[in-house]
Structure 1
């Protein structure tokens, strides 16, 4: 690349960085989730706002002939993925007691009822004809695939967005956070398997086709093996490597060593075709010592440095790029959005609420768990994008899924901030979850989600 091409890319990245922090700060002052402001910044810079208001400026930044739209898109895509991987790595390193003994019973109830119940209800309503699938079907014309995506979109929980909300509120260390994220990790594995079936159905004529059954079963076995190894075995391996006297990289730079661990997990996940987002989360989890969490103090300085830089640069730009990729125009259907938003939210809240009740939680606990798990966020957007690109769903349904993901994530952030501002516990069974609500402060504090941080906006 020439100096001019590099300069144009840096300019585009700088514009994103400027707008994302300004919009995030404004939304924070309006007592709205900061990440929603970051997404709105991306929408403003996208083709449906800046592209309409000033086509020349938009083309110069994102489709300049001197650089090429395809090259710009590819590099911004790399920044997008780097942001989400760093977010998940940091989140994994700060979550304690994921799938620990004290959470297993509650996690089992949420996974056993909270996730499959809404999925099964949507499938039954769709197969029986109560829900009209026609308007949701994409160019491939496979109604069963669209129905599977619809059911998955109701049940999915956003690990990246929930992690960002927890970090901004300073509650990643709590049992509430570990319970939510532990359940979300396992449920999303199953839902990605469902998406694999939906995609395969667009190429086959029968669900019983040997290709579908074989490839999907193999993919799920590999995924579960990878996750099980990362959760149960790798923390011990990383601890042993940390004590190895010939680990020169660790002795040379703990920060570089932490990043290499992240890259190793992601590289292995790519090789085995496992979801990279989960791999990044598990890399942070393993580096911090796994379920015991006994190794994080050895990497606290390195992880704090990564957190400060990531939350100042790459993670906000990731959320801005989410907004930049949204599609509006005549393909947007307000009726479909309202119907799906209200229906899916009600179904999710009832299902998770029932699971939490059976798990022994109390009234406020139940509401906290139900509203938080209803946040669709990043996985909801990724689910929509993959399904739309595969021709499974229509453009109108794609836009609906993305907007629902944003709205439900905003609802979760606002509710948790309200609970903490009142001094209420996130879980009445755990006194450490009584957390003082963060308050938005002027720029100048750290970026770790502590009360002095400008990233705290809930």
Structure 2
């Protein structure tokens, strides 16, 4: 009979082994995804689903239950939460107002149009799906919460995945790439605000008094972040950051990040909003020093811990549980998601003077959801808005819409320097032959 201490040690050891397995499988499938002209996040999402009940759990003996035992899952969730908060800090920090220089009108039109259409279609779809998904773990979910959440989930564009995709397709310097990046930046801020409103409504449970309290506390939080935390961070950055970032500065940032996340959780929205807001008010200058001393190390932490988030998500995804009706619902969800973002971005892109081909490319880019969508879906799951079947279908929608863009996007023409390098290489090969 093992003692309690021995059992605890075995659980911790299982968590460490689980992280190793997730990292290795995610790395392999992420590399395979890149080979198939997909962003690595597609492979990592597939890895999380494959290790869960949808694939590995179907094998004899249910290996998923043994590899990821019930006792280990709370630890995995806590580790995933840390990686998620660090990632959201990076999302907030990457929002650069300079992206909008010269593109405010076009970016605003594309982002507002794509969000409005996607949100409206999402709410419309919710009216048809609600009666079959209005009970989550024995608790009734209000239509308002379900509809708002579906609208917000349909409205998102994954800014980090989009930026990576533009770089890999050499589209960062093109007109459509620059407009897509600027529009996605505005899109993300608006979508997070929609989600925060939804989370507040769900937390308040429809009670006017609770909703008013959350609204007042949220306003106070925003004021403190803007009028106290932001100037304080700017002052500390001027005093402490010169040609390098001192360790004390990093410690203070991490402490501020987690305190901000705690504050938004206590208010009644969600921890991710606190992390995003703290990154948003973070100083950007001196850019290179902060990028080397803060952003890149934080990105390294995310790279190691976020795959744990994928397996935590994958453990809640069970494709085999989707019924015949569920297949029809899944097709409807994917079609509505694609129509909302592609049409909502293509039309204003065309009206700003883009040819149809470029406008269509813009729509495909804005339809990319990726990791950001999974974050929203996990919020919905934790708030009790989504049942397990709806969560599974929405995760599959995120996977499909992200994978759709890669094969359909054109590669931009190579730059003169790249062409010169290729000609030089071919010349050297000819002389060697």
1:325 aligned to 316, 329, 332, which one? 316
Match of 1:341 among 328, 334, 349: 334
Deviation at 1:77, TM superposition (A): 0.6
1:140-190 deviation line (CA, Å, top 9, x unaligned): 275554444433333233456556656877959967434312321123312
1:218-233 paired onto structure 2 within 5 Å: 218-220=213-215, 222-223=217-218, 226=221, 230=225
CA apart distance, 1:408: 1.0
Matches within 5 A, 1:54-453: 54-55=60-61, 57-63=63-69, 69-70=70-71, 72-97=72-97, 102-110=102-110, 112-121=112-121, 123=123, 131=128, 133-138=130-135, 140=140, 142-158=142-158, 161-162=161-162, 176-194=180-198, 196-197=200-201, 211-212=207-208, 214-220=209-215, 222-223=217-218, 226=221, 230=225, 234-244=229-239, 251-287=246-282, 289=283, 293-303=284-294, 305-307=296-298, 309-310=300-301, 312-332=303-323, 333-358=326-351, 363=356, 366-387=359-380, 392-393=385-386, 395-415=388-408, 418-419=409-410, 421-423=411-413
Cα 1:422/1:246, change in 2 over 3 Å: closer
Pick from 44, 51, 55: which aligns with 1:45? Answer: 51
The answer on whether the counterparts of 2:118 and 2:151 sit within 8 Å (CA) in structure 1 is yes
Q: Following the alignment from structure 1 to structure 2, what is the Cα–Cα distance between the partners of residues 382 and 246?
A: 32
Aligned twin of 1:26:
32
Q: Distance in 2 between matches of 1:304 and 1:73?
A: 29
Please state whether the residue corresponding to 2:278 is helix, strand or coil.
helix
Per-residue CA deviation, residues 298-319 of structure 1 (Å, 9 max, x unaligned), is: 3232135415632541133333
Q: Secondary structure at the match of 1:115?
A: helix
Give the drift of 1:435.
Answer: 12
TM-score, normalised to structure 1's length? 0.72
Number of corresponding residues: 402
- Tell me which protein shows more helix as a share of its residues: 2
Three-state SS of the structure 2 residue aligned to 1:47 is coil
Write out per-residue CA displacement over residues 396-449 of structure 1, whole angstroms, 9 at most, x where no aligned residue. 43322221112112224555xx34x23399xxxxxxxx999xxxxxxxxxxxxx
Please give the secondary structure, in 2, of the residue aligned with 1:262. helix
Cα distance per residue 1:110-165 (max 9 Å; x no partner) = 454332234335546876xxx46533443527555444443333323345655665
Unmatched tracts of structure 2, length 5 or more:
419-433
Report if the CA contact (8 A) 1:199-1:387 is conserved: no
Unpaired segments of 5 or more residues in structure 1? 64-68, 205-210, 426-433, 437-458
Question: Does the Cα contact within 8 Å between 2:149 and 2:195 map onto a contact in 1?
Answer: no
Q: Report the aligned-residue RMSD.
A: 4.0
Offset, 1:48: 3.0
Cα 1:106–1:271 change in 2 (3 A) is: farther
The answer to whether the 8 Å contact 1:114/1:348 transfers is: yes
Contact conserved, 1:89 with 1:284, CA < 8 A, in 2? yes
Q: CA deviation at 1:60?
A: 3.2
| Counterparts of 2:377 and 2:246, CA distance in 1 | 44
